[in-house]
Amino acid sequence: MNFLPIFYNITDKPCLVVGGGAIAARKAELLLRSGGRVRLVAPEIGARVLEMADKQALECEQREFRQDDLNDMTCAIAATDDKNLNAEISRQAQARGIPVNVVDNPDLCSFIMPSMIDRDPVQIAISTGGVSPVLARMLRSKLESCIPGAYGELARLADDHRDAVKRRLPDVDTRRRFWETILDGQVAELVFAGRTEDARQQLEQELESFNIAGVRGEVYLVGAGPGDPDLITFKALRLMQQADVVVYDRLVSQPILDMVRRDAEKIYAGKASSNHAIPQENINQLLVRLAKEGKRVLRLKGGDPFIFGRGGEEIEELIDENVEFQVVPGITAASGCASYAGIPLTHRDHSQACIFVTGHRRDGEEGLNWEMLSHANQTVVFYMGLENVERICSSLKAHGRAADTPAALIEKGTTTEQRVFVGDLDSLPGLIARNEVRAPTLILIGEVVALHDKLGWYKPGEEIR
Ligand SMILES: C[S@@+](CC[C@H](N)C(=O)[O-])C[C@H]1O[C@@H](n2cnc3c(N)ncnc32)[C@H](O)[C@@H]1O
């Protein structure tokens, strides 16, 4: 990130615009809308600037730029056609520590102007760091369409009641819960429907009767998918953004954690196969305790919580303790990794069934039905099988699966670090050792694996031509 996103108060502060054309006029308008006092200097002045000068909205001088124009300025914008002059203005302003923007030249800027969504007093600024203003504008139009125009009105209503709410609800967390119910509930709907007065009354009634003790905590058991943040569901995203606390596993990738509400408390409950950061019983109790404190608890798990995720055990405890919960499925590793590796889990010609199995031995025994797993024309997916790969391959062969049955290892599937190795039941253990394959890795066994050569499409790190 080359630029710090900040909002700068320029109310009643002098701002300089150099240039008299349409772009300079637009910049001057923005400064005026933000409360700045604008002085504009240019040898040639266009119609739009003249119009603003006539209305005395800004001070306009028809002449060349002079060094002393920068005296006492809060910021300066160079919007001339003259590259040398723009560079000179930038140099002089920066030498004096005055924030300067040069139109269409990020290298000469000490600040850049974002693309804006204006729902005054709500402002949303989008920046690509000056790299692609067109992309910023495209993002803006996407956001424009999903942010109602009345958000400004809603913010003003909230502002009118800020002090009263602070007095009535001195605790910060309680206040936040109150505001969340207001800004996402009936009050907001009334504002959006143009019924501001009704919204005001409703807000005051809700403030009067609000009781945090009546707010019940809840647990959201959410599947975060196998790694690519684009693979989480809309529902997961919504709950991630309203949680007070998140209890997450080792498999939840950083880009996904970054999508959780920024000020939510984050508790790592990480799990590697032999290293339980917090024992499962304690995780269950932690969820119950946090929910009983009235918190919205996000239990975020890699993949799907109900597939080798012990999600069932967690909600069993919640049910026993009478705690409300929701379960949000996620894309399980088998599905995500197979798709990103170009290996269909079933195929009319090669595989009529697909089985998900754990390769992790509990008390030294998988307890698996090897005979059933060794049938031909099916795909077997081993989760957590890396450490036992030799046993897996030899057991399958011993129960009749051909030694040349295609087999794949998918490491860190769906992420930008995904690696796929293809071999067969004989060569799989050697592939792991030679390539230093590490967890999380999924093992796929079956004829469909051979399709990877043709169907493999996701090649992170490879240049696309
Ligand atoms: C405890 S299980 C959790 C499975 C998860 N609940 C799911 O539905 O995907 C962990 C195992 O899932 C597999 N796994 C999870 N994410 C993976 C990924 N991105 N790439 C490869 N394997 C993955 C690995 O075999 C790992 O050892």
pLDDT in tens, 324-339: 999 999 999 999 999 9
DSSP-derived letter for residue 108 is G
pLDDT in tens, 143-186: 887 788 889 999 999 999 999 999 999 988 889 889 988 998 88
Q: How far is CA 351 from CA 133, 344, 345, 378, 393, in A?
A: 49, 9, 7, 4, 19
Query: Is ligand 1 within 6 A of the CB of residue 381?
Result: no
3-state SS assignment for residue 190: helix
Q: How far is the CA of 303 from the centre of ligand 1 (A)?
A: 6
Domain boundaries, the chain: 14-113, 151-214, 218-331, 334-455
Q: How far is the CA of 41 from the centre of ligand 1 (A)?
A: 63
Q: How far is the CA of 424 from the centre of ligand 1 (A)?
A: 21
Average pLDDT score over residue span 60-67: 96
CATH topology of domain 218-331: Cobalt-precorrin-4 Transmethylase; domain 1 (3.40.1010)
Q: What is the mean pLDDT of the chain?
A: 92
Average pLDDT score over residue span 434-441: 96
What does the pLDDT read at residue 464?
40
- 463 pLDDT band (50/70/90 cuts)? very low
> Tokens 């119609």 sit at which residue?
47
Percent of the chain with pLDDT over 70: 96
The structural architecture, per CATH, of the domain 14-113 is 3-Layer(aba) Sandwich (3.40)
Query: Is ligand 1 within 6 A of the CB of residue 19?
Result: no
Task: Tell which phi-psi region holds residue 260, choosing left (phi > 0), alpha (psi between -120 and 50) or beta.
Answer: beta
What does the pLDDT read at residue 230?
95
Query: Residue type at 299?
Result: R
Torsion of CA 316, 319, 321, 326, to 10 degrees: 100
Crossing angle, helix 47-54 and helix 22-33, to 10 degrees? 30
Average pLDDT score over residue span 259-270: 90
Task: Write out the DSSP string of 351-404.
Answer: BS-EEEEE-PPBTTB----HHHHT-SS-EEEEES-GGGHHHHHHHHHHTT--TT
What does the pLDDT read at residue 146?
79
pLDDT in tens, 347-369: 999 999 999 999 887 655 668 99
What does the pLDDT read at residue 366?
64
Q: Which atom of ligand 1 is nearest to the CA of 443?
A: 25
C-alpha to C-alpha distance for 366 and 364, rounded to whole angstroms? 7
Q: Are strands 354-358 and 419-424 parallel, antiparallel or unpaired?
A: unpaired
The yes-or-no answer on residue 249 being catalytic is yes
The structural architecture, per CATH, of the domain 334-455 is 2-Layer Sandwich (3.30)
Catalytic residue among 27, 228, 244, 271: 271
Closest C-alpha to 377, from 447, 320, 432, 294: 447
Catalytic residue among 69, 228, 244, 249: 249
Q: Do domains 14-113 and 218-331 have the same CATH topology?
A: no
CB neighbour burial string for 235-250, b if at least 16 within 10 angstroms, e if fewer: ebeebbeebbbbbbbe
Average pLDDT score over residue span 80-96: 96
> Tokens 């402002």 sit at which residue?
123
pLDDT in tens, 393-406: 999 999 999 999 99
What does the pLDDT read at residue 272?
53
